Structure 1
């Protein structure tokens, strides 16, 4: 229930929605003094949230730093969290990647380098699916095509959120006999902005994986005329990612998921 509620109503707390609502209310009361103030406030908010220097600086501070590949030890299992494919695209004879493909391509690279012995992919059907193939199955097909042995793949196909990723991954590892042997030799692979919440969810289940953040939104902060004065739609999207993640962390904490 929490998953579906968050998918349907999370837009209400997003910066763009707040700016737009402020602007619409301001226009509705445009003949009153506070209406004009709301319009002015909405314009200021739009300029703030579309500033690429501010959004990039904030995201850069939030995302954990990347890890150098050569410094990594060998892990028994790399755990890849999904949410990176277009589940509404047909036909299902290929994998349609969205932003976040680094989660699986970097896992593939680590496997090819000998840093991962096996890859566990966690992810079910998502919200309102149009096809019964889970995201984990779709990504597994891609990895096999890319040269990963089927015997080196472990699939968890029920999870629809980060908490379930952690819970069901532990169940799959336990049922397959990998625990407690591999408990201290796991590598969690997910987007950098999402790593804090994901790691906390896994620790709540008693798993303490090492982490490998991927899919970075931030670049190295750099002051320039373009970043300071040119509005950017991508900056608003960056704010949406951050706000949604921050709210998710608070809600997960209150619900006892982390």
Structure 2
């Protein structure tokens, strides 16, 4: 039920949805003032959601509380990596990496530095039931130099809450204050909420974010790619609502 509810809420995460609704209503209404109002609001929404500067401000406010210093990370037995950073290309029999690949890169760096002993990968594309665990583990060992004996795979999770829940059931020892969660900064708030729901209080490190970006006059030029970034952020806001309703 929770998974279905979160999926339904996610459908409302696109700024384009609201812009198109307003434009559609403006096209079919007979009232001139309402039509002008709908077109005006749609224009304002477009200019706002295609603006990189406004997006940067909102993203920074949302993730800044979870940004920590990589060099200050201590020693942990487990690094827990919620899935979503790889996929499996069946045609080429290869692991593909997405925008969140920093989760794995940073976790491997912690592993190489001796700060974590084992990587727990949960619900990820390349190592889930529809992926290929052997190909994924082979690449980790051959390319990244990670001993496959130090990698624990949880292949069933479909969302953030299941990432934490299923991993704790698979590796109960993670509750012993010896775990650090490595996840994208934009998802960290929801990740830690799931942890608290399960009475689990790990350390954490947020990845995939750059808050030092300099904004110029070009940031004010409408950019359709920013709309995609907004969709991810809005998905998180809506996801938080769904989690709070259930928790």
Q: Normalising by structure 1, what TM-score? A: 0.85
Alignment partner, residue 170 of structure 1:
168
Alignment partner, residue 122 of structure 2:
122
Q: Choose which of 212, 218, 228 in structure 2 pairs with 1:220.
A: 212
Query: Pairwise CA RMSD of aligned residues?
Result: 2.5
Alignment partner, residue 192 of structure 1:
185
CA deviation profile, 1:102-122 (whole Å, cap 9, x unmatched): 111111111111111111001
Partner secondary structure for residue 12 of structure 1: coil
List runs of 5+ in structure 1 lacking aligned partners. Answer: none
Alignment partner, residue 85 of structure 2:
84
Segment of structure 1 superposing worse, 38-47 or 138-147: 138-147
1:136 Cα deviation after fit: 6.9
Query: Is 1:239 paired with 2:230?
Result: yes
Alignment partner, residue 40 of structure 2:
40
List runs of 5+ in structure 2 lacking aligned partners. Answer: none
Provide the C-alpha distance between the structure 2 equivalents of 1:136 and 1:202, rounded to a whole number of angstroms.
26
Alignment partner, residue 160 of structure 1:
158
Query: Matches of residues 1-258 of structure 1 in structure 2 within 5 Å?
Result: 1-4=1-4, 6-7=6-7, 10-29=10-29, 32-64=32-64, 66-87=67-88, 89-91=89-91, 93-123=93-123, 132-134=129-131, 139-145=136-142, 146-174=144-172, 178=173, 183-216=176-209, 218-220=210-212, 222-228=214-220, 230-256=221-247
Partner secondary structure for residue 67 of structure 1: coil
CA contact (8 A) 1:78 1:187 kept: yes
Provide the C-alpha distance between the structure 2 equivalents of 1:135 and 1:196, rounded to a whole number of angstroms.
30
Distance 1:28 1:139, change over 3 A: farther
Provide the C-alpha distance between the structure 1 equivalents of 2:171 and 2:165, rounded to a whole number of angstroms.
10
CA contact (8 A) 1:125 1:160 kept: no
Provide the C-alpha distance between the structure 2 equivalents of 1:11 and 1:165, rounded to a whole number of angstroms.
21
Provide the C-alpha distance between the structure 1 equivalents of 2:62 and 2:97, rounded to a whole number of angstroms.
24
Distance 1:119 1:255, change over 3 A: same
Provide the C-alpha distance between the structure 1 equivalents of 2:7 and 2:246, rounded to a whole number of angstroms.
17
Give the paired residue count: 244
CA contact (8 A) 1:125 1:158 kept: no
1:234 Cα deviation after fit: 2.6
Provide the C-alpha distance between the structure 1 equivalents of 2:11 and 2:224, rounded to a whole number of angstroms.
16
Partner secondary structure for residue 117 of structure 1: strand
Partner secondary structure for residue 63 of structure 1: helix
CA contact (8 A) 1:84 1:97 kept: yes
1:3 Cα deviation after fit: 2.9
Partner secondary structure for residue 95 of structure 1: strand
Q: Normalising by structure 2, what TM-score? A: 0.88
